Amino acid sequence: MSAAAETTVLHAHTETLRNALLGLAGATALVSVVGALAFGLPGPAKEAPAAGIETPALVELKPQPFAYRPAGDFSQAGRPTNAALRTVSLDRPLAIMMHQVTVGEYQRCVTDGACPRVAADQRAPADQPMVGVSWRDANAYAAWLSAKLGTTWRLPTDEEWAFAAGSRWHDDVQPEGGVDPAQRWLARYTQESEREDVAQRAPLPVGSFGVNEKGVLDIAGNVWEWTESCFVRRDLAAADGTQTVNCGVRVVQGSHRTYVSDFVRDARAGGCAVGKPPSNLGFRLVRETPAWKRWPTMMARLLKGAVG
């Protein structure tokens, strides 16, 4: 048999083996799911809420394409520019809190000793969004809620927040290229000033800003929200695509996107700033999708890649 013929046969055997393995993986997963349903075998673990702690109201969104401009500071050959507006899609379903964490909800964490007490108005109604929290405070609450409910909760990424915001997500585009820096700063100032009246209003009870087309309450209202995303600075002209990531500054979302330092109240605890977070800054969390729920998406992508 010639060398070319042997290569062809070997390639065919390799393809057959790969297809068999893919089929076995799919069959194994299917059997586990069907077995759990039909024969009472152990299935996905369910939440076991602690006494007095209920699972927050969630909006569950399936992945679908949406327009998104990455957060950060971008330049092109030394001149300020905007990142490209791209069509993207999340790689898994998104389960996000229907509304921001409220004063009453946060106070339960404080009572348990798991969250810091913040210098907010103690007379604030229990159904008002909790504000004046740092990024660390928000993460402390996420860790407490995760322990209480037995599931993983975290802050959303900027991309996830934009997807949940839908039509309420604002694409803040600034003048590019050879525009005088003073003009760029003036444009930003004008943009911020037009929204100042919104930012200065005191937080209002949950539901005051209505629901968007995806069923999410008060998103992009007058309370800004922490995200998990770090501040990024990148020169788009760099051939290697390197970027500077500063996780001491986080992306904050609301009626527009901005960036806020990781405020800490005790300098000995670390962090890049000491002080009080803005009085209109709160948060909402997302619940991590269990691995067994991500299986159909993962298998579909795997099979698509194998066929391709």
HEC string for 131-155: CCCCHHHHHHHHHHHHHHHCCCEEC
Q: Which fold has domain 59-292?
A: paralog of FGE (formylglycine-generating enzyme) (3.90.1580)
Q: What is the pLDDT along the chain (308 residues), one digit of tens a residue?
A: 554 444 444 344 444 434 543 443 444 333 333 333 333 333 444 445 555 789 999 999 999 999 999 999 888 877 888 899 999 999 999 999 999 999 999 999 999 999 999 876 667 899 999 999 999 999 999 999 999 999 999 999 999 999 999 999 988 776 665 555 555 555 554 555 455 555 457 889 999 999 999 999 999 998 999 999 999 999 888 877 778 999 999 999 998 898 888 876 554 455 555 567 888 899 999 999 876 565 565 565 566 555 55
Distance between CA atoms of residues 74 and 231, nearest Å:
11
Sketch the domain layout of the chain as residue ranges: 3-43, 59-292
pLDDT of 6: 45
The pTM score is 0.75
Buried b (16+ CB within 10 A) or exposed e, 248-264: ebbbbbbbbbbbbbbbb
Q: How far apart are CA 201 and CA 42, in angstroms?
A: 51
User: Chain centroid to CA 283: how far?
Assistant: 11
Instruction: Please report, as a single letter, which amino acid is at residue 209.
Output: F
Task: Please give the pLDDT value at position 18.
Answer: 44
